[in-house]
Chain A
Amino acid sequence: MLRKESSAVLLVCAVFSLTVAGVARAAEGDAPDVQTIVTRANIVAYYQGDDGKATVKMTITSKAGQTREREFIILRKDVVDGGDQNYFVYFQRPSDVRRMVYMVKKHVGEGKDDDRWLYLPALDLVKRVAASDKRTSFVGSDFVYEDVSGRGLDQDTHELIETTDAMFIVKNVPKKPEEVEFSYYTVAIDRKTYVPTKMDFYDKQGQLYRVIESKDVKVIQDLPTVTRSVVKDLKTGGQTEMEFTNVQYNVGIGDIFEERYLRRPPREAMR
Chain B
Amino acid sequence: MIVFRRIVPIHIRTVVLLAMTCSAIVVAQDEQVKSDPVREFFERFDTEYHGFYEARAGYRLQNDPDEKDMSIMEARYQFDLFSMRDWGDIKVKGDVYGDGVEEKGVFDLREANLFMRPTDSMDVKLGRQVLTWGTGDLIFINDLFPKDWQSFFIGRDTEYLKAPSDAVKVSFFMDWANLDVAYTPEFDSDRFISGERLSYWNPVLGDRAGEDNTMSVERRREFLEEDELALRLYRNIRNYELALYGYWGYWKSPGGFNEAMTAAVFPDLYVYGASIRGTVGKGIGNAEIGYYDSVDDRDGDDFLINNSEMRYLVGYTQEIARDFTAGVQYYVEQMLDYDDYENNQPAGMPKRDEFRHLTTLRLTKLLMNQNLSLSLFTYYSPSDEDVYMRPIANYKASDHLAVEIGGNVFFGDETHTFFNQFHNNTNAYLAVRYSF
Answer whether A and B are interacting partners.
Answer: yes
Q: Which residues of A contact B354 (CB under 8 A)?
A: none
Give B43-68 as 1s and 0s: 1 = Cβ < 8 Å from A's Cβ atoms.
Answer: 00000001010000000000000000
Within 8 A of B (CB), among A92-119: 93-96, 98-99, 105, 113, 115
Known interface pairs A131-B319, A264-B123; A258-B369 also in contact (CB < 8 Å): no
Give A131-171 as 1s and 0s: 1 = Cβ < 8 Å from B's Cβ atoms.
Answer: 11101110111000000000000000000000000000000
Q: Which residues of A contact B241 (CB under 8 A)?
A: 128, 259
Q: Which residues of A contact B371 (CB under 8 A)?
A: 68, 140
Q: Which residues of B contact A130 (CB under 8 A)?
A: 282-284, 317-319, 325
Question: Is B132 an interface residue, CB under 8 A from the partner?
Answer: yes
- Smallest CB-CB separation from B436: which chain A residue? A95
Q: Which residues of A contact B89 (CB under 8 A)?
A: 264
Q: Which residues of B contact A135 (CB under 8 A)?
A: 322
Nearest-neighbour CB distance to chain A for B396, whole angstroms, equals 8
Known interface pairs A115-B239, A131-B279; A94-B322 also in contact (CB < 8 Å): no
Q: Which residues of B contact A128 (CB under 8 A)?
A: 241, 277-278, 284, 286, 317
Nearest-neighbour CB distance to chain B for A70, whole angstroms, equals 9
Question: Is A80 an interface residue, CB under 8 A from the partner?
Answer: no
Q: Which residues of A contact B436 (CB under 8 A)?
A: 95
- In the assembled complex, the Cα of A68 lies from the Cα of B317 at a distance in Å of 29
Are A122 and B159 interface neighbours, CB within 8 A?
yes
Number of inter-chain CB pairs below 8 Å: 97
- In the assembled complex, the Cα of A270 lies from the Cα of B88 at a distance in Å of 13
Question: Is B236 an interface residue, CB under 8 A from the partner?
Answer: yes
Question: Is B173 an interface residue, CB under 8 A from the partner?
Answer: yes
Q: Which residues of A contact B82 (CB under 8 A)?
A: 99
Question: Is B435 an interface residue, CB under 8 A from the partner?
Answer: yes
Are B399 and A94 interface neighbours, CB within 8 A?
yes
Question: Is B14 an interface residue, CB under 8 A from the partner?
Answer: no
Are A136 and B322 interface neighbours, CB within 8 A?
yes
Within 8 A of A (CB), among B16-34: none
Are A136 and B282 interface neighbours, CB within 8 A?
no
Pick from B50, B319, B435: contact of A133, CB below 8 A. B319
- In the assembled complex, the Cα of A11 lies from the Cα of B366 at a distance in Å of 48
Question: Is A216 an interface residue, CB under 8 A from the partner?
Answer: no
- In the assembled complex, the Cα of A173 lies from the Cα of B133 at a distance in Å of 44
Give A26-65 as 1s and 0s: 1 = Cβ < 8 Å from B's Cβ atoms.
Answer: 0000000000000000000000000000000000101000
Question: Is B129 an interface residue, CB under 8 A from the partner?
Answer: yes
- Smallest CB-CB separation from A94: which chain B residue? B399
- In the assembled complex, the Cα of A213 lies from the Cα of B121 at a distance in Å of 44
Question: Is A124 an interface residue, CB under 8 A from the partner?
Answer: yes
Nearest-neighbour CB distance to chain B for A61, whole angstroms, equals 11
Are A113 and B323 interface neighbours, CB within 8 A?
no
Question: Is A9 an interface residue, CB under 8 A from the partner?
Answer: no
Question: Is A260 an interface residue, CB under 8 A from the partner?
Answer: yes
- In the assembled complex, the Cα of A116 lies from the Cα of B82 at a distance in Å of 27
Within 8 A of B (CB), among A210-264: 238, 258-260, 264
Q: Which residues of A contact B133 (CB under 8 A)?
A: 126
Question: Is B115 an interface residue, CB under 8 A from the partner?
Answer: yes
- In the assembled complex, the Cα of A99 lies from the Cα of B241 at a distance in Å of 23
Are A124 and B132 interface neighbours, CB within 8 A?
yes
- In the assembled complex, the Cα of A42 lies from the Cα of B380 at a distance in Å of 49
Are A270 and B84 interface neighbours, CB within 8 A?
yes
Are B132 and A60 interface neighbours, CB within 8 A?
no
Q: List 30 A-B contacts (CB under 8 A).
A: A60-B369, A62-B369, A68-B371, A68-B398, A95-B50, A95-B52, A99-B82, A113-B282, A122-B162, A123-B132, A123-B159, A124-B130, A124-B131, A125-B132, A128-B241, A128-B277, A128-B284, A129-B284, A130-B283, A130-B284, A130-B318, A131-B282, A132-B319, A137-B369, A137-B370, A140-B371, A258-B236, A260-B178, A264-B89, A264-B115
Q: Which residues of A contact B319 (CB under 8 A)?
A: 130-133, 136
Q: Which residues of A contact B117 (CB under 8 A)?
A: 264
- In the assembled complex, the Cα of A105 lies from the Cα of B369 at a distance in Å of 25
Q: A105-B239, A115-B239 are in contact. List 9 more A-B contacts (CB 8 A).
A: A69-B399, A95-B50, A123-B159, A126-B132, A132-B325, A135-B322, A136-B322, A141-B369, A258-B236
Give B146-163 as 1s and 0s: 1 = Cβ < 8 Å from A's Cβ atoms.
Answer: 000000000000110110
Q: Which residues of B contact A176 (CB under 8 A)?
A: none
Question: Is B400 an interface residue, CB under 8 A from the partner?
Answer: yes
- In the assembled complex, the Cα of A130 lies from the Cα of B132 at a distance in Å of 20
Q: Which residues of B contact A270 (CB under 8 A)?
A: 84
- Smallest CB-CB separation from A140: which chain B residue? B370
Q: Which residues of B contact A133 (CB under 8 A)?
A: 319, 322
Are B129 and A124 interface neighbours, CB within 8 A?
yes
- In the assembled complex, the Cα of A122 lies from the Cα of B159 at a distance in Å of 6
- In the assembled complex, the Cα of A99 lies from the Cα of B133 at a distance in Å of 18
Are B236 and A95 interface neighbours, CB within 8 A?
no
Q: Which residues of B contact A192 (CB under 8 A)?
A: none
Are A139 and B370 interface neighbours, CB within 8 A?
yes
Are A136 and B50 interface neighbours, CB within 8 A?
no
Q: Which residues of B contact A4 (CB under 8 A)?
A: none
Nearest-neighbour CB distance to chain B for A65, whole angstroms, equals 12
Nearest-neighbour CB distance to chain A for B28, whole angstroms, equals 12
Nearest-neighbour CB distance to chain B for A264, whole angstroms, equals 6
Within 8 A of A (CB), among B77-101: 82, 84, 89
Are A93 and B399 interface neighbours, CB within 8 A?
yes
Known interface pairs A69-B399, A94-B399; A124-B162 also in contact (CB < 8 Å): yes
Q: Which residues of A contact B417 (CB under 8 A)?
A: none
- In the assembled complex, the Cα of A140 lies from the Cα of B399 at a distance in Å of 11
Q: Which residues of A contact B279 (CB under 8 A)?
A: 113, 115, 131
Give B105-130 as 1s and 0s: 1 = Cβ < 8 Å from A's Cβ atoms.
Answer: 00000000001010000010000011
Question: Is B70 an interface residue, CB under 8 A from the partner?
Answer: no
Pick from B162, B370, B400: contact of A94, CB below 8 A. B400
Q: Which residues of A contact B173 (CB under 8 A)?
A: 260
- Smallest CB-CB separation from A266: which chain B residue? B117
- Smallest CB-CB separation from A181: which chain B residue? B322
Q: Which of A93, A130, A131, A271 has the most CB of B within 10 A?
A: A130
- In the assembled complex, the Cα of A123 lies from the Cα of B93 at a distance in Å of 13
Known interface pairs A124-B132, A124-B162, A137-B323; A267-B84 also in contact (CB < 8 Å): yes
